[in-house]
Amino acid sequence: MRVIGVGFGRTGTASLRVALERLGYGPCYHMFSVLAEPARARGWLAAAKAVEAADGAVDPPWEEIFDGYDSTLDWPGVAFWRELVEAYPDARVILTVRDPYRWHQSMDETILRALRNSRSPVLGRLMQFGARLRPDLGAFWEMIDRVVVRRSFGGDVGGGPERFVRMFDEHSAEVIAAVPAERLLVFEVADGWKPLCDFLGTTAPDEPFPHVNERAEFARIAGTQQRKVVVPALAGVVTALAAAVIATRALRRRH
């Protein structure tokens, strides 16, 4: 692991992911990696359990989680930023930031909305049913709750912008206080190649800094994953109801 991203999602991490891979620091682990392969969530659940263990006797399975990856950004990794910074002492650390109110607006229209929707009675029940049909997706949603919601947001995705802006600022301050200045880059993707390449000691490519529409990409991938859960759940509900109707009619005929 050569680069550890410690900034929250929705701070340009998807664009930075492309940039790091262009500079030779890839593959780069990102929440998109887990969305594409929900089975990866099991490793993060194991990491959460190891970190939360009272005796600290179990080490998180970082080598297994990051096997084949050279860098990490976004969640789930940022939820364990302290542990990762300590586990990989030679890795460079990048804190992606942006205007905190604009960050909250972006979060509120994507990640927080999806989390709130998953807690609605109807969709929540459907997702629970679908998760039983697709265990990897069940592990994914358990990971989101245990790792992202609990570790980054205190177990609550409600509240107005002031609450989230405060958490965003507190997170940035904690990182800056904990990581030595020579090891840390506080980075806005709008600043482009120069500060990133100066920090990493690499030459800037002769091309524009990548810009990934994170909101559109999130909507596309999240929509695909929800369909993978909800559609099987609806099919299961319909099948169960049909079976119940058939069984009821059969019993009535006997009587």
* Helices 100-109, 214-254: inter-axial angle, 10-degree rounding: 30
Q: Are strands 71-72 and 184-187 parallel, antiparallel or unpaired?
A: unpaired
CATH code of 3-254, in short, is 3.40.50.300
pLDDT at site 140: 87
Which ranges of 4-120 would DSSP assign to H, the alpha helix? 13-22, 31-36, 41-52, 62-65, 81-87, 100-109, 111-118
pLDDT at site 116: 83
> Is residue 157 classed exposed, middle or buried when 0-12, 13-18 and 19+ CB atoms within 10 A define those classes?
buried
Q: Where are the domains of the chain?
A: 3-254
Digit-coded pLDDT (tens) for 93-119: 999 999 999 999 999 988 898 888 767
pLDDT at site 235: 47
pLDDT at site 126: 60
Identify the segments of the chain with pLDDT beneath 50.
230, 233-245
Digit-coded pLDDT (tens) for 117-129: 767 666 556 666 5
